[in-house]
Structure 1
């Protein structure tokens, strides 16, 4: 790891434990800010590094960090008010609901205001979806997406993702959707607001990290989330790993818990090699789109599915299976109606050309390169080593 990556992790440890950081680092402030932003951790870093002499000497980076810090506080207040409002009107209407991911996790952080989240994740029962939609609209929200298991609502720049399931599709070799199908039944309710069982929630968070690994990538914030939960609740790590066998992700869980222990001294250190996992987590940002070949990711997915030629890969990109298409949010209209698959392909092509032109270009421009295939195969081997494939 370079100095900026080491410094970022030191900041996260200091934030988690209420300690100070080492001021002896030689860091490039612009690179540190870019790294912190890529991991959605700039407010956390600034909270413990604001008096660092090197950072104080970099006015532009210091002001950028400070702006991110205060923006996070304002955003937290707005989201907290929204959560309170949503909790109130769903409870008043007798609708069971569970806030999860950042909506729940942030309140366990030492300073909750600094744990960024782009939206509010909410789980309800499928049979309550129609009633929930009516209540959201009645309370001033507009619906921006109403296909499939996630309905999106927006009000005053607050985005709410209202789920009827917390996982869609497979994750690695695991049928995670089926495993987490009854997630709401693993919550304890007070009135109509529920909280997921701690060990079940840890299993979900590990599966969510695996999902990010398998698609594009996960970052340091996800490991910090685990550390916060483990420190707050002190669950049995071995029991969680043992339960992950049902998902065929127990080896992956050992790797991630070991990374968590090495970075934050919580969790458990298992006898496994974590060097590549640590490099993967720290290098590619929160969503795996930093310092990463998108074409290699696309090629890796194609190889996993048995598409070895560039032509087969391109065709699989243009014309995904019904099973894949029904889980894409903007073409959810085909779910339960496989006969609409050709119309879904056409709509998806138009949507991507309109909204994801740069991404599509980057993903396909070097598909035929030997370097791209070599990188894709290297990633498959890495995923096999950590128990994801």
Structure 2
């Protein structure tokens, strides 16, 4: 692993553990490269704090230090705004006596040494399906605008704050190894009240950790995932109270066919963040460790940075077609691109007229084709070519993910 990446991990680990790092990690750093890694993984503010704690700011070029400081200030400001908004949202849910579960970033940030530094693009809340319309009306009443209202995840925006309101934890299975949607069909059995009063819930720490593995696997299977998801797992394991029930966790991961994947994730958490585990895990070989580490670092927080976006689309569309002949799989992929499902199109603002009118689907296909050919023909052509030209990268990633346990 190249030196700047090693320094990047060492600085993040020192932030999690609130400790000093070995001086060798701070030698001959390319601070431009380090800054880029922080930006694409959404941990720029955290890196700034760690560099400050290590007394390294004096070595950074002044213009870069100012940019880093601005990222730090922006991270604090965004966190304060999200916290202010979430207090209103939670209060509103409780006033309407509407049960809700806080999970992922917003529920995990308080286990970090500096919660404001655990950034999040959106805030996830689970509700009961029967409360969908009540929740929708409530959020609109307090100033949130709905931007997507199809399927199991509806999104809302108010200023710089975005909410994802789920009525199921898993909307669809991302591969054919296990039925993740069925496993989480009644996710409320994994939730407990945050306090005796009110309607705010959270997942038990054991079940939240299991879900983090599932969520990470989903992102790996799509575009990828960055260092922040590993930090979430490391922080949850290293917190100071309530030891985790590892026999239960391991049993559930076997049911979900994610035990091999989780083993690799925990190995990385041990190597990167010096996580102490009460269980024995298998070490990956150094060749694979270097490959998967580069795969994670190179593409940022959700795997989008300088990575072929068509590969993720091919994997998503062909998740259950690995045994098909390549030509047939390609034809099916083209069909999925040219003729999206009713569920997919009805969730798009441009085709909102489809909602509750599935018979209009052929009309929507025609309208979409006309728009693509008349106004977005270059993008459409690149998309259709990408299905073929991305095959080599698709095969490379597929082999890597298979070794990862996916």
Query: In terms of mean alpha carbon deviation, does 345-354 or 65-74 score higher?
Result: 345-354
| TM alignment of 1:296-375, pairs within 5 A | 296-301=311-316, 304=319, 305=321, 306=324, 308-309=326-327, 312-320=332-340, 325=344, 339-343=359-363, 345-346=365-366, 364-369=384-389, 372-375=390-393
Q: Which residue of 2 aligns with 1:38?
A: 40
Distance 1:161 1:271 in 2: 36
- Number of aligned positions between the proteins: 385
Q: Judging changes above 3 Å, is the alpha-carbon distance between structure 1 residues 72 and 365 closer, same or farther for their aligned structure 2 residues?
A: same
Q: Is 1:294 the counterpart of 2:314 in the alignment?
A: no
Q: Which residue of 2 aligns with 1:179?
A: 183
Q: CA deviation at 1:334?
A: 6.3
- Aligned to 2:42, what secondary structure does the other structure show? coil
**Alpha-carbon distance in structure 2 between the residues aligned to 1:254 and 1:332:** 43
Instruction: Tell me how large the CA RMSD over aligned residues is.
Output: 3.0
User: 1-side partners of 2:374 and 2:80: how far apart?
Assistant: 34
Deviation at 1:356, TM superposition (A): 9.3
- Match runs of 1:182-331 below 5 Å: 182-189=186-193, 190=195, 191-232=198-239, 233-266=242-275, 267=277, 270-273=281-284, 275=289, 276-301=291-316, 304=319, 305=321, 306=324, 308-309=326-327, 312-320=332-340, 325=344
TM-score normalized by the length of structure 2:
0.84
SS class of match (1:218)? coil
> More displaced, 177-186 or 299-308?
299-308
Corresponding residue of 2:394: 376
Q: Give distance in 2, aligned partners of 1:121 and 1:350.
A: 36
Q: Is the 8 A contact 1:307 1:313 kept in 2?
A: no
Q: How does 1:13-32 map to 2 (within 5 A)?
A: 13-23=13-23, 24-32=26-34
Q: Which segments of 5 or more consecutive residues in structure 2 lack a partner in the other structure?
A: none
Distance 1:200 1:356 in 2: 44
TM-score, normalisation: structure 1: 0.88
Instruction: State the Cα deviation string for residues 57-97 of structure 1 (Å, max 9, x = none).
Output: 31222111111111111111111111111111111111011
Q: 2: CA distance between counterparts of 1:241 and 1:362?
A: 44
- Contact 2:174–2:316 at 8 Å: present in 1 too? no
* 1: CA distance, partners of 2:83 / 2:370: 37
**Residue aligned with 1:147, SS:** coil
- SS at 1:368's partner residue? helix
**Which shifted more, 25-34 or 343-352?**
343-352
For residues 40 and 70 of structure 1, what CA distance do their matches in structure 2 show?
13
CA distance in structure 1 between the partners assigned to 2:274 and 2:376 by the alignment? 40
Contact 1:21 1:48 in 2 (8 A): no
The change in CA–CA distance for 1:334 and 1:10 in structure 2 (over 3 A counts) is farther
Shift of 1:107: 1.2
CA distance in 2, matches of 1:197, 1:205: 12
- Partner Cα separation in structure 1 for residue 84 and residue 371 of structure 2: 34
Q: In structure 2, which of residues 123, 131, 144 is the aligned counterpart of residue 128 of structure 1?
A: 131
Contact residue 106 and residue 123 of structure 2 kept, 8 A = yes
Q: Which runs of 5+ in 1 are unaligned?
A: none
1:279 shift after superposition: 2.7
Cross-structure match for 2:162:
159
Distance 1:119 1:63 in 2: 26
After TM superposition, the structure 1 = structure 2 runs for residues 81-96 of structure 1, keeping only pairs within 5 Å, are 81-96=84-99
User: Does the aligned pair in 2 maintain the 1:11–1:49 contact within 8 Å?
Assistant: yes
How far off is 1:187 after superposition? 0.8
113-122 or 236-245: which moved more?
236-245
Return the offset for 1:35.
Answer: 1.0
Of stretches 191-200 and 276-285 in structure 1, the one that deviates more from structure 2 is 276-285
Distance in 1 (CA, whole Å) between partners of 2:115 and 2:367 is: 40
